[in-house]
Amino acid sequence: MDFHDNEQEAAFRKVVSAFLDSEFPQELANRPEEWGLFNGAGRLGHTFRDFMKAWNEKLNARGWAAPAWPREYGGAGLSVKEQFILSEEFAWRRAPRPGGIGHGWAGPTIMMYGTPEQKAEYLPKILSGEHFWCQLFSEPGAGSDLASLQTRAVRDGDDYVINGQKIWTSGGHAADMGILLARTNPDAPKHRGISYFLFNMKLPGVTVRPLLNMLSSHEFNETFFEDVRVPAKQLLGEENRGWYVGTTTLDFERSGIATSVAHQLIAQDIAAFARDSDVGRGSLARNPGLRAELADRAIEAQVESLICYRIISMQERGEIPNKESSIAKLYSSELDVRLAVTGMHVAGLWGQLSSHDEARVLDGRLPRFYMHSTTSPIGGGTSEIQRNIIATRGLGMPRA
């Protein structure tokens, strides 16, 4: 691995840093609602949404709203290392980073499999923010085993008629469009007979119901389809080949460096709280072992960054990380939980106070972080699935 920027990369890092110095208000980086990663923007209301609209325009002007997209489609056409640098610099500043289902999944897949008409219709609206996208893959009986999905799409003239249910639809209540997997041939083996659709969430027959989590946050939904007629022109790629469209390895930087940086920032914040506050010093006095626990979290966050650098080095060489990506996901998810637990150990009972309580500590971030961390080993591929991949593809162990 090469940890150093070459001359061109160092110059690009300076450009990104100067942009953040001049364009990103520092007060937005220190919001109590967030910690480490810049998420949940919708909770800040209209003022912040206005900022995000202007922010997206600034990013689009540089192509940074879609840094991996080719220039011909409105992206920046950045190299793998330049994408890494952009993500890293934005993460250290806790600034809103480019991303989302539209930019990261729908757009690249449309570029690869879409017709000229589909590209002209959807790619500009993803970049402009006119279309917000969601992912309609998981079902109540098809999560980790996604190929078992049962939502049906039956051809009827110029339309497909869709019936079924999806679950864990992040942002589905606000989405304009979705990427949908549905079964078009129930008699084929489960990985075949699935088709991929560009799905209008406003069509008649679509019902989106909220799934509130223990943070009382509305991020997930369950989505129902009752005789929804989707024009056949919304099929992406070939009929019955949607599984292969959906699992296509897209050559874009996904090292996880932003999460690694977030964990380093959180470890620093917890250590500073333990050192500088009466509550933190009291916890250290009662439990001297907390010093070693804090040191472990700081070291682990650094190890996570090394895993990310390994992945980006492979991508630079034109290699496709496989087991390495699973290692990164597993390590990051488990570290998320350990960091939250360490924060609670340092804060004690004070760690239960939210940002709405006057006596809060660490700006009331701990309760949200602790509760949200419990989802990390599940979302994006469970830890059990990642261990299976590491065992079979990394260690050559037989399947159970």
Q: Are 269 and 390 within one domain?
A: yes
Mean pLDDT of 366-378: 90
* pLDDT tens, position by position, 255-265: 788 899 999 99
Q: Is residue 118 part of a domain?
A: no
Please give the pLDDT value at position 190: 87
Top-ranked range on mean pLDDT: pick from 131-145, 331-345, 350-364: 331-345
With H, G, I as helix, E, B as strand and everything else as coil, classify residue 22: helix
Handedness of CA 164, 168, 173, 174 (dihedral sign): negative
State the residue range of the domain holding 19.
7-99
β-partners of residue 221 are 210
With H, G, I as helix, E, B as strand and everything else as coil, classify residue 250: coil
Looking at the predicted structure, is the pLDDT value of residue 42 above 90? no
Residue 142: CB atoms within 10 A of its CB come to: 19
Report percent pLDDT > 90 for the chain: 66
Looking at the predicted structure, is the pLDDT value of residue 36 above 90? no
Which residue from 301, 297, 258 is spatially nearest to 274, judged by alpha carbons? 297
The last residue of a domain, from among 215, 246, 277: 246
The last residue of a domain, from among 99, 123, 155: 99
Looking at the predicted structure, is the pLDDT value of residue 47 above 80? no
Q: Are 277 and 240 within one domain?
A: no
Q: Are 348 and 385 within one domain?
A: yes
The DSSP secondary structure of 33-64, one letter per residue, reads T-BSB---GGGGHHHHHHHHHHHHHHHHHHTT
Q: Is residue 2 part of a domain?
A: no
Please give the pLDDT value at position 256: 86
pLDDT band at residue 214 using 50, 70 and 90 as cut-offs: confident
The Cα 302–Cα 266 span in angstroms is 12
Q: Are 62 and 171 within one domain?
A: no
Instruction: For residue 172, give the amino acid letter.
Output: G
Active-site residue, from 88, 219, 222, 253: 253
Looking at the predicted structure, is the pLDDT value of residue 248 above 80? no
Please give the pLDDT value at position 40: 43
Q: Which residue has the higher pLDDT, 382 or 253?
A: 382
> In the block, which residue shows the tokens 């190929």?
147
CB 107 within 8 A of CB 123: yes
Assigned token pair, 327: 């290692």
Q: Are 281 and 222 within one domain?
A: no
Q: Does the active-site annotation cover 57?
A: no
Please give the pLDDT value at position 98: 65
* pLDDT tens, position by position, 311-345: 999 988 888 888 999 999 999 999 999 999 999 99
Residue 18: CB atoms within 10 A of its CB come to: 10
Report percent pLDDT > 70 for the chain: 92
Please give the pLDDT value at position 356: 79
Please give the pLDDT value at position 253: 58
Looking at the predicted structure, is the pLDDT value of residue 37 above 60? no
Looking at the predicted structure, is the pLDDT value of residue 300 above 70? yes
Looking at residue 215, what DSSP letter applies?
A: T
- 29-38, 285-294, 357-366 — which is least confidently predicted? 29-38
Q: Is residue 111 part of a domain?
A: no
pLDDT band at residue 94 using 50, 70 and 90 as cut-offs: confident
Environment class of residue 6 by beta-carbon count within 10 Å: exposed (0-12), middle (13-18) or buried (19+)?
A: exposed
CB 351 within 8 A of CB 361: yes
Longest dimension (CA), the chain: 74
Mean pLDDT of 37-62: 67
pLDDT band at residue 107 using 50, 70 and 90 as cut-offs: very high
Q: Are 235 and 272 within one domain?
A: no
- Please report, for the domain that includes residue 46, its CATH number: 1.10.540.10
The last residue of a domain, from among 76, 99, 122: 99
Q: Where are the alpha helices (DSSP H) in the chain?
A: 7-23, 45-62, 80-93, 101, 107-113, 116-128, 242-246, 257-276, 278-286, 289-316, 323-347, 365-373, 383-389
- Please report, for the domain that includes residue 377, its CATH number: 1.20.140.10
pTM for this model (two decimals):
0.86
Looking at the predicted structure, is the pLDDT value of residue 397 above 50? yes
Q: Are 236 and 267 within one domain?
A: no
Q: Is residue 266 part of a domain?
A: yes
Which residue from 237, 274, 294, 297 is spatially nearest to 348, judged by alpha carbons? 274
Find the angle CA(269)-CA(275)-CA(276) to the nearest 5 degrees: 85
Q: Is residue 400 part of a domain?
A: no
With H, G, I as helix, E, B as strand and everything else as coil, classify residue 183: strand
Mean pLDDT of 10-31: 89
Q: What is the mean pLDDT of the chain?
A: 89
Mean pLDDT of 203-219: 89
Q: Is residue 116 part of a domain?
A: no
Mean pLDDT of 270-274: 96
Domain total in the chain: 3
Q: Are 228 and 150 within one domain?
A: yes
